[in-house]
Amino acid sequence: MSPTILRSPSLMALSVSGASLLAIWGVVKWMKRLYGLPPYPPGPPIKNIITGNLADVPSQTIWLKCTEWKETYGNLVHLRLFGQHIIVVNSFEDAIELFEKRSSIYSDRPHVEMIHLMGWDFNSALKHYGDDWRQHRRLFQQLFKREASIEYQPIQTKKVNDMLYGLLTTPEDFIAHSKTVTAAIIVSTMYGHDITPKNDYFVTLAENALAKLREAVFPGALAVNAFPVLKHLPTWFPGAGFKRFALGVQDLTNQMLAVPIEALEKRLADGTAQPCVSSSLLENRKSKEEYEIIKAVAATAYAGGSDTTVSVIETFFLAMTMFPEAQRKAQDEIDRVVGNSRMPTYDDRESLPFIEALCRELLRWRPVTPLGVWHASSEEDIYNGYYIPKGATFFPNVWAMAHDPQKYNRPEDFNPDRFFGSDGKLNDDEVPYAFGFGRRLCPGRYMASATIWLSVVTVLALFNIQRTKDADGNEICPEGKYCDELAIHPLPFECVITPRSESTRRIIMDARGNDSQG
């Protein structure tokens, strides 16, 4: 948290807010004593009546600190940030109890003022729980349920084949190819638009808008999130830089919403549109309200899908570089089941259990959203003897769940074998925490899983991923560090990607030729 941002409101505003918080805090304590309410979940003691536990919260890798707190305070950790109750859920079992078994109470999203100021409240994943969200969710379920997602496999196959060609011709750009394939799949599926391999306008637009969103949404990250009344300050007022920032982001957000759908409408009008999800929806819409929902749902998929799945594919390249034994076992299975004369397809999925286990381990080892996506309580509740106030913000600590040593032996090791039982068959652990919880479970999980699987199996079938070497011929193992964002990505690293056989080029070119004929 930047100290300059915290000091941006006038001293009078902070003094009044501080006095109000002090008064409210005193009244709450008095009422809890009077009515004998249970205590809040345990957590670090409050150090400042205004900022609460802000000093306890690290500026980076918060999920690691929350995991440390589990050892001291338990599975539920209570914090205060500017008067806001924050509860970190460190165990999968408690997450299921709260977010699934009590989903009617814990399916809301907290109010983050900057989301509204930046125009991101169109996003279905950020909407408050209610009728508007239900309308969006119904459409998402219709489009991305398991059966419907199978229809998108031809698009996924075509775009993955493009990625393989990119790896064959410019393997050093493997991160760019990872970003392109995920964006290409979702943009083609939603809008029927084939993106350019580099610097595509649609992709750049989404990346820029998402980058701005990340800077301003964590509760307490900006003064206006803590004191929403500040949104009424004029843009010229000292300390109102957040408002100028929000207006700039709002322009990006509006473009991300409007440009792709308007381009599709133009193609529909002149008869050049390719069949896609949004074209079918637009042709059957019956009202302006339906149009706005279609636009918002398409943009939500466009923004979210291109930022999360790519993280897993980037982690795949990193893990194969760092853990060559897992790569060898996966390739042995592919060679045994598929052979080396053709490309693996979705039809091979059930016959390749180690590839399935490897994909699960990618999701577990470095979960895309290590601190999950926040929930909020819409009513007060009593859980495990603790008082949960209405409006509390909940973070499911996915990292703690995925690295629980009681469940996963040596959790920092990348080990797909952990997903096999003593009978040699895949166990029932499908790392469900990777896709969220309850009514907020990611609706695009089936499509994401299919993209990850096909990317992993085809790359391993056709290429070797190896470590670079120094001047003396010694292998250089990547450090495996990650950026610190809502959706994490590996920091830049190097690896050497080479074809596994002489027939690799022919297989890739044949696949591209079949795609163009199709």
Binding site members for heme: 442
| 192 vs 467: CA distance, rounded Å | 38
User: Can you tell me whether residue 494 is helix, strand or coil?
Assistant: coil
Spatial CA neighbour of 518 closest among 118, 79, 154: 154
Residue 55 contacts residue 404 (beta carbons within 8 Å): no
- Residues within the annotated binding site? 442
Q: 236-255: buried (b, 16+ CB within 10 Å) or exposed (e) per residue?
A: eeebbebbebbeebbebbeb
How far CA 453 is from CA of 258, 371, 495, in Å, comes to: 32, 24, 21
- Tokens standing for 379? 């009513």
Residue 405 contacts residue 418 (beta carbons within 8 Å): no
Residue 235 contacts residue 243 (beta carbons within 8 Å): yes
Residue 437 contacts residue 95 (beta carbons within 8 Å): yes
| 251 vs 245: CA distance, rounded Å | 10
User: Can you tell me whether residue 120 is helix, strand or coil?
Assistant: helix
- Tokens standing for 293? 């929902």
Strand partners, 387: 382
First to last CA, the chain: 52
